[in-house]
Amino acid sequence: MALNLYPIIFTALLILITLIGYSFLLRSRTQKLMHQSSELAHDCETLLTLIKRASAISQHPDKTDAFLYEMEKYIKKWRAISSGQILVSNTELELIPNLVDEAVSELQSSEKFSSISFQSNIKTLPFSRINAQEFTGSIRNLLKNSAQSISEHQTGVVEVKIEEHDHQIQISIEDNGKGIPAEFQSKIFHRGATFAKTEGSGLGLSTTKARFEAWGGGISLVHSSPANGTLFRLNLPKYPAPHWFQEHLTLEVGTDVVLIDQDPSMLPFMENKMNHLFHEVDLHFFASGTACANYLKSAPTQKRFFLVEYFLSSHSIEGRTVKNGLDLIKSLNILDRSILMTDGWNHPKIQAEASALGVKILPKNYLKAINFELIDPTQKSKKIEAVLIDDHEVFRQDWQEAAASKGLFIVTCASVAEFLDRYRYLPKNTAIYIDEYLDGGLMGQNESLALAKAGFDNLHLATFDSMAIEDLPLYPHLRSVQGKTPPF
């Protein structure tokens, strides 16, 4: 049966008109709301672009889910804000597991919940655009609710799990408590609803729901009963990681991995982490930069990749004082072969220093959630014709299908960071097309500078804006401005 998209398009247009009107109202408010108005204008532009693409969806029903997801992300966000359920607040790109762990750690250290076992199960390291204080407060309240539902006479367990499903971050909070009475379950997200807590205001879950919907996500009660406890599930849209963040570790066959860290426990940990790679790569551990420098002098030249802790004792290498891991990377002249692996990954100063050098940062405290992948550049079975970097799944599908129809093989990524994590080994003359407007307010023209710095020299801007070609002289690393139509 053919998919009738006219009701969807009509509804989306009505919402778009409403949002545009709301953007004008925002302009009359405070400077804080002006920032939100600018964000709304960008979201409206994205939504309008998706509506323009709707005519093609009816011939390709398999694309419907991705298309509707992209539209829903923006509609849910502004519906929650325009309804007045919450105050407009500034948002930033945040690592979700880090904020969840903050809330978990706070309750773990509380004497009130000393008998409760709070457990974190982190399977991925996604970013989303949220207000960190409001997010942490919402997670903390949910954890407290779970802990308070557990009888003092039972062994209490509250588990938080972070996964990714269907382009979204999924946060599950589950306990083995007494559950929520069946007669209250349909009302728990209503403003003013409360039960079993004399001090409850009834604002917790309703506010959490409004906040998550304003961020493009949501919350649901999966199940609750005395026998099985309670499971809440929250979701958020996943945003591309910042350029300084290392999401995956991709190693070439035959590479020597050099780990420099003063913590001796890192050696057995990394040996276990890389156990499945040891038939293809070697691991070398050094507790100081001096020992590593001596090794590099004595060992034959070969492929090496360096994982360096930021916090190292000050020492000297060939008369130069080395104060930290970034100093060491510069001294050894290994900028293009190094990752800063440190517990200090979230420090703005370290992020700025690493970004200035073009060195990515891998969070040491989340190593368990990072995948170590192996590639063999000599065994690539297909020639990669081109690369598309675009945060919209609909456009990535379009390009994949257009390439497949011509018997071509292409790579698509949601961000520059993802591409550099997974495909930095590609030939430097590979044609790369990057979307002009990326998630998080990032501009393709600026993000493509990281590709040029990595040596890629066949770069193109993909945009619906034909006027962008006038700015091309400002970006000499870009060869051309192309439309969003696949060039094959």
The domain boundary, picked from 82, 102, 131, lies at 82
The answer to whether the Cα torsion of 390, 396, 402, 405 is positive or negative is positive
Please give the Cα distance from 416 to 428 (Å, whole number). Answer: 15
Please give the Cα distance from 285 to 216 (Å, whole number). Answer: 44
The reply to whether 207 and 277 lie within a common domain is no
Token look-up 């609803």 returns 193
Residue 276 lies in a domain: yes
Could you tell me the end-to-end alpha-carbon distance of the chain, in angstroms, rounded to an integer? 30
With beta carbons less than 8 A apart as the criterion, state whether 332 and 324 touch.
Answer: no
Residues near 205 by beta carbon (within 8 Å), at least 6 away in sequence: 188, 189, 193, 219
Phi, psi of 141 (to 5 degrees): -65, -40
With beta carbons less than 8 A apart as the criterion, state whether 41 and 178 touch.
Answer: no
Please give the Cα distance from 101 to 93 (Å, whole number). Answer: 16
Starting from the edge strand earliest in sequence, which strands make up the sheet with 304-308, in order? Answer: 282-286, 256-260, 304-308, 338-342, 360-363
The reply to whether 342 and 472 lie within a common domain is no
The reply to whether 286 and 157 lie within a common domain is no
The reply to whether 330 and 432 lie within a common domain is no
Please give the Cα distance from 37 to 20 (Å, whole number). Answer: 9
State the amino acid at position 297 in one-letter form. Answer: K
Residues near 418 by beta carbon (within 8 Å), at least 6 away in sequence: 240, 241, 247, 389
Residue 488 lies in a domain: no
* Selection from 434, 443, 448 nearest residue 476 by Cα: 448
User: Residue 437 forms beta bridges with which residues?
Assistant: 443
pTM: 0.69
The reply to whether 76 and 101 lie within a common domain is no
User: Residue 431 forms beta bridges with which residues?
Assistant: 386
> What one-character DSSP code corresponds to residue 255?
P
The domain boundary, picked from 237, 269, 302, lies at 237
With beta carbons less than 8 A apart as the criterion, state whether 359 and 329 touch.
Answer: yes
Residue 278 lies in a domain: yes
Residue 87 lies in a domain: no
Please give the Cα distance from 338 to 328 (Å, whole number). Answer: 10
Residue 339 lies in a domain: yes
- Rounded mean pLDDT for each run of 10 residues along the chain, 488 residues in total: 63 71 56 50 56 54 54 59 56 93 90 89 92 92 91 84 88 92 84 53 73 90 91 92 87 88 93 81 90 84 88 85 92 92 92 92 92 71 84 86 88 88 83 88 88 92 82 89 87
The CATH number that applies at residue 449 is 3.40.50.2300
What helix, strand, coil percent values describe the chain, rounded to 5? 45, 25, 35
Work out how many domains the chain is built from and give that number. 4
Residue 35 lies in a domain: yes
The reply to whether 74 and 140 lie within a common domain is no
Residue 155 lies in a domain: yes
What number of other Cβ atoms are within 10 A of residue 485's Cβ? 12
SS3 (DSSP) at 119:
strand
Burial class (CB in 10 A: 0-12, 13-18, 19+), 426: middle
The reply to whether 342 and 229 lie within a common domain is no
Q: Which residues of 354-367 are buried (b: 16+ CB within 10 A; e: fewer)?
A: beeeebbbbbbebb
Cite the DSSP H helix spans in 125-203.
Answer: 132-148, 182-185
With beta carbons less than 8 A apart as the criterion, state whether 88 and 200 touch.
Answer: no
Q: Which two tokens stand for residue 420?
A: 């550099």
The reply to whether 143 and 253 lie within a common domain is no
Instruction: Determine the pLDDT at residue 196.
Output: 53
Q: What is the CA radius of gyration of the chain?
A: 25
Burial class (CB in 10 A: 0-12, 13-18, 19+), 194: middle
Residue 420 lies in a domain: yes
The reply to whether 18 and 32 lie within a common domain is yes
The domain boundary, picked from 15, 49, 82, lies at 82
Please give the Cα distance from 393 to 152 (Å, whole number). Answer: 48
Please give the Cα distance from 464 to 59 (Å, whole number). Answer: 22
Q: Which domain holds residue 55?
A: 6-82
CA distances from 340 to 351, 360, 463 (A): 10, 6, 34
Instruction: Determine the pLDDT at residue 35.
Output: 46
The reply to whether 132 and 13 lie within a common domain is no
The reply to whether 253 and 355 lie within a common domain is yes
Residues near 379 by beta carbon (within 8 Å), at least 6 away in sequence: none
- Sort strands 431-435 and 459-462 into parallel, antiparallel or unpaired: parallel
The reply to whether 296 and 419 lie within a common domain is no
With beta carbons less than 8 A apart as the criterion, state whether 314 and 326 touch.
Answer: no
